[in-house]
Amino acid sequence: MPRKFLIDTDTASDDAVALIMALRHPDADVLGVTVVAGNVPVEQGASNALFTVELCDARVPVYLGADRPLLREPQHAFWFHGEDGLGDVGYRPQGRPADGYAVDFLVDTLRSATGVTLVTLGPLTNIALAIASAPEIVSSVERCVVMGGAACTAGNVTPAAEFNVWADPDAARQVLHSGLPIEMVGWELCRGAATLDADNRTYVRSFGTKLAEFALDCNRTALIACRRQSGEPGLGLPDPVAMSIALDPKIATRVSAHYVDVETRSDLTRGMTVVDRFDVTHDERNRAVWGELRARPANVKVCWQIDVLAWKESLYRSLHR
Ligand code: RIB
Ligand code: CA
């Protein structure tokens, strides 16, 4: 029985590949795609999502969502993904977004469905707005796989923060404390051996399919940007890594539950995902530190390690046909 998926995305080049993985997966029933401002303005993100859905010959609605963060100014990543978010190749969809607001679609769908896998690939603005208007929808979500944050490691947009959480830290903080069953897939998991190296990219190109061509061509800007951002010779694909885990939880080989919070006040550490890796907030010894024992219950399952080969196989299967 296919599992119900909702995908919230700031659709740029890595999001697009993650969408393909879900849309082409035989066990995923994608109920809809909701778009949020992030990598690119929300209208451009919707255009990119529509193009990707059409390329997959899928019949899945794409809804326009929040065009700015809850409190902060919109921030985009044109330098990384290109002005249009898809490597400035010139992809244009035939269709238009669905009528209606993404947040209303999320609320309506989650009010009428259960056992949903919610995958978030961008800033968490839409999710925060949906939960604020209908807190009960949390119970309809079986898994919430979040591409976001950096667990006890460096960020990609500041030394402390990853883009999706940094762009709307207030939304991220609300969502992490909403009661959603969050599985956090940090930016660190798409780097190093998890990147597509030259051999991997040559292998994908050898598929000769329209999806394989698109996946590589729309990420041509991102490939250059990865090297500039973190010295990676390979192509980092954070959203597809998160989607591979949403499609197959076994790809996350080391996961543990911890208290996680988000910095929203400091400019230096805005958007930092503060992970209580050693559960020190639960320890009597820290009563002195906190004044009283303010145990912080674990609210997030943090992914620390993935099966790199399985992640890449998941990607290849989606592009091969
Ligand atoms: O930091 C990486 C994340 O920010 C990815 O989701 C990428 O698409 C951007 O949204
Ligand atoms: Ca994204």
* Start-end of H helices in 266-307: 287-290
* Start-end of H helices in the chain: 13-23, 42-55, 78-81, 102-112, 125-133, 163-167, 169-176, 198-205, 210-217, 220-230, 238-247, 287-290, 308-319
d(CA 69, CA 173): 13
122 Cβ inside 6 Å of ligand 1: yes
Whole-Å CA distances, 214 to 29, 135, 221, 283: 22, 38, 13, 50
| Rounded mean pLDDT, 270-282 | 92
| Rounded mean pLDDT, 205-229 | 97
Residues in the chain: 321
Q: Around Cβ 27, how many Cβ atoms within 10 Å?
A: 10
| Rounded mean pLDDT, 257-285 | 91
Domain ranges of the chain: 3-320
pLDDT attached to residue 284: 66
Number of the ligand 1 atom closest to the C-alpha atom of 162? 1
Contact assessment for residue 271 and residue 158, using Cβ atoms and an 8 Å cutoff: yes
- For the structural domain made of 3-320, what CATH number should be given? 3.90.245.10
Inform me whether the pLDDT recorded for 290 exceeds 80.
no
Inform me whether the pLDDT recorded for 287 exceeds 70.
no
The alpha carbon of 38 and the centre of ligand 2 are apart by a number of angstroms equal to 7
> Is 285 buried (19+), middle (13-18) or exposed (0-12) by CB count in 10 A?
exposed
80 Cβ inside 6 Å of ligand 1: no
Mean pLDDT of the chain: 96
156 Cβ inside 6 Å of ligand 1: yes
Closest-lying ligand to the alpha carbon of 8?
Answer: 2
Let me know the angle formed at the C-alpha of 210 by 60 and 20, rounded to the nearest 5 degrees: 35
| Rounded mean pLDDT, 74-87 | 96
What are the tokens at 98? 């669905």
